[in-house]
Amino acid sequence: MPLDLDRFQLGAKRTGIPAGESEVVKVDLSPRSLFVVLAFIAGVWLLIHVVPVLLVLVTALMLVGALSPSVTWLEQRNVRRTFALSTVFGVAIAIAVGLTVVVVPSLIEQLKSVVENEPALREKAAAYLEQSQLTAPLADDLRNIHYTDLVKSFKTTLVSMGAGMIETVAYGFAAVFLAFYIMADRDRLRGALFAVVPRAHHIRLSRILLNLVTIVGGYIRGQMLTCFLMGVFILVLLLVCRVPNALAIAVFGGLMDLLPYIGIFLTMGPAVIAAAMEGPAVAGVVFVLLFAYEELESRVLVPVVYGRALRLPSSVVLFSLLVGTALAGIVGALLALPLAATVLMLIEELRVELPGETVQPRDIELRRQDNKMEQEYERRVESMSAEKAAAIAVELTGGQKREDQSGEKPNQAGTETAQEAVRPGY
């Protein structure tokens, strides 16, 4: 289509723009808009620099969700909360120390044995490769390996790994202490949270908090179950194959199963290396069976266990693990499932209407019950402090949750307990 220059020039003159000159568009930012942009940039910068602190906080909250049921169980049996906290954390620390004492010395001994027997193992592997014409050239390369460059690079890697390990251990201790203080100051922290939220939303907030505890607890239980099954499988396999230090290797493999994707190498590596000392055939059997079990766990056990614990479909479990790994690596994979379950729970609890979804009669009934409970709650806690009101809200939502699970009406004992909880000196 030809361009009409005369009409274009006339239009330019009409708008006050000389022909042949380009229009300059000026964008004026208001002080408020400039402040918002700068605040956003500062927030992103701060978030990037405090990521380790956020990870410590998330780890502490996961510990709180994992250990809270045990503390609550002791409290229900008339054990004071301080003693219950000390007991639960003491037992957890004792188990961690016991596993460390069992695993670390045996693994160090196993590593020394591998280093001492390395020439013999390398010769056995080279002789095995020479039996086939396809792998025969690899036998000479294996015999002519020089360790000078490998030792130098290994020392550098070991130093960096040691520094990272010390930092990780320090963050781990910080998360443990933070979890203890969060549980010890539960009432005051919960009261502070409820103080900044309007009382009309306290019931829904308390229900979200209870569901978060359920989600984190289910995730931790799922992790413990899969790690336990992996440890048992490795132990039985190595005992059948008569591999030394089977218990230590099994405990280490079960713990490393926590790590998605790279856990398979840390789990299988020590077991296969230890089995190689008993012969190539034993190492091959251990490798094949462990690889088969890893596939079974990742494709069957993980979706089933976490799907039931977190009430997530198997497809959502696999998709969440992939997305979490792509976005944040190992940490993202570890946090993907509880975050996915939390998002779905928030959509359900906040009654978010998704596109294409129609309102169901059950949703209308739930909203009616929520409004009725919120009105009753506001009437009861009208003159109470936020800390005392939080205890009432948690007790009411806990009673409603027990009613939904059992199908029975909650008795008055729950309400009386909540009334007692807010009396001075309780």
Are 228 and 342 found together in one domain? yes
Cβ count near 68 (within 10 Å): 18
pLDDT band at 152 (very low <50, low <70, confident <90, very high): low
Task: Provide the whole-model pTM.
Answer: 0.65
Digit-coded pLDDT (tens) for 283-329: 889 999 999 998 888 778 877 777 766 777 777 777 887 887 777 67
Digit-coded pLDDT (tens) for 379-415: 777 777 777 777 787 777 777 666 665 554 444 434 3
Q: For all residues of the chain together, what is the average pLDDT?
A: 75
pLDDT for residue 409: 45
pLDDT for residue 164: 65
Mean predicted confidence (pLDDT) in 340-344: 82
pLDDT for residue 407: 54
Are 174 and 227 found together in one domain? no
Could you list the residue range(s) of the whole structural domain that residue 186 is in?
Answer: 51-151+163-196
Cβ count near 281 (within 10 Å): 11
Place of tokens 């049921």: 69
Are 230 and 173 found together in one domain? no
Are 242 and 185 found together in one domain? no
Mean predicted confidence (pLDDT) in 365-372: 73
How far apart CA 349 and CA 347 sit, in angstroms, is 6
Residue 239 has pLDDT above 80, yes or no: yes
Residue 30 is assigned to a structural domain of this protein: no
403: DSSP letter: H
Mean predicted confidence (pLDDT) in 219-238: 87
3-state percent breakdown (helix, strand, coil) of the chain, nearest 5: 80, 0, 20
Are 192 and 282 found together in one domain? no
SS3 per-residue string spanning 295-363? HHHHHHHHHHHHHHHHCCCHHHHHHHHHHHHHHHHHHHHHHHHHHHHHHHHHHHHCCCCCCCCCCCHHH
Smallest Cα–Cα separation from 109: which of 219, 205, 233, 247?
247
How far apart CA 65 and CA 87 sit, in angstroms, is 16
pLDDT for residue 404: 62
Smallest Cα–Cα separation from 83: which of 184, 213, 182?
184
Are 174 and 233 found together in one domain? no
pLDDT for residue 6: 47
Higher pLDDT, 334 or 118: 334
